[in-house]
Amino acid sequence: MIQLFNVTKTYPNGVRALNDISLTISKGEFVFMVGPSGAGKSTLVRLLYREELPDRGQIMVKSKSICRMKPEEVPYLRRSVGVVFQDFKLLAERTAFENIAFTLQVVECPRREVYERTVKVLEQVGLKDKGDNYPHQLSGGEQQRVAIARAIVNNPELIVADEPTGNLDPDTSWDIMGLFEKINKRGTTIVVATHAKEVVDGMKKRVIALEQGKVVRDELRGGYGYEN
């Protein structure tokens, strides 16, 4: 699903966020990316949905080079990669339902299908009755569920999440990670960059640890490994 070959990324201000990273993530995997702040986790996530391009190296997503991808192909990549953020990125003036339906409208899904799929995905994330609520009427956990619903409504093969529980309390974090696990069980590959030590330790998934732009540890069924 994802292959990185000797990827290096340096920002214009001279900060080297990733330094010669190579790794492979297979279809259907659930991967945690951990590491101290500034280790390059967010950069790695942003490379995966082509928000940024590496300076050197090659990145393959779904066996397609995203470095050599033409700009007009990017939208179609994004449709097969769901993205979840720490700050949810919901539109405040739209209801939960509209936020999700918006994604489908953007990809020009037929109107009838928009309704059906939105209802279905709201049910999947456990917000069946909250469709008409605006983001400010929902708790943080619920808002993140809406964001996840938005990420999966296009049936992507890959979901990348950057600190999805960074703004949530521990119990809610467990709920959100549980939701990711449920989505993963249906075959969707999931990559989560996170600081949530207990969750990472408890879930026993593959853990890739980054430090100063390098992979320092890559364990199947690993733990967080840092003292917070």
Partner 1 sequence: MKISTFGSLVAEGFRSLWRNGWMSVASIGTVTITLFIFGLFYLLVLNTNYIASTVESDVEIAAFLNVNLPEESVKEVGERLNKIMGVGEVTFVPKEKSLEQLTKTFGRDHDLVAALDGKNPLPDYYRIKTVDPSQIGTVARLIGRMVEVDEVRYGQEYIEKLFAVTHWIRIAGIALMVLLSAAAVFLIATTIRLTVFARRREIAIMRLVGATNWFIRWPFVLEGTFLGLIGASIAVLMLLFSYLGVIEQLRTAIPFMPLMTDTVLLKQLLIGMILAGVALGICGSTLSLRRFLKV
The residue ranges that bind partner 1 (CB under 8 A) are 49, 71-72, 75-79, 83, 89, 91, 102-103, 105-108, 110-111, 150, 154
Shortest spacing between CB 159 and partner 1, in angstroms: 13
Residues in the chain: 228
Q: Between 111 and 136, whose beta carbon lies closer to partner 1?
A: 111
Q: Compute the radius of gyration of the chain from its Cα atoms.
A: 17
Q: Between 76 and 226, whose beta carbon lies closer to partner 1?
A: 76
Shortest spacing between CB 74 and partner 1, in angstroms: 8
Shortest spacing between CB 51 and partner 1, in angstroms: 8
Task: Find residue 207's DSSP bridge partners.
Answer: 32, 219
Residue with tokens 């699903």, as numbered in its chain? 1
The answer to whether the CB of 34 falls within 8 A of the CB of 194 is yes
Residues 6 or more apart from 34 whose CB is under 8 A from it?
41, 193, 194, 195, 200, 207, 208, 209, 210, 224, 225, 226
Q: Between 120 and 204, whose beta carbon lies closer to partner 1?
A: 120
Shortest spacing between CB 178 and partner 1, in angstroms: 24
The answer to whether the CB of 140 falls within 8 A of the CB of 172 is yes
Shortest spacing between CB 108 and partner 1, in angstroms: 5
Q: Between 84 and 192, whose beta carbon lies closer to partner 1?
A: 84
The answer to whether the CB of 76 falls within 8 A of the CB of 62 is no
Q: Between 60 and 77, whose beta carbon lies closer to partner 1?
A: 77
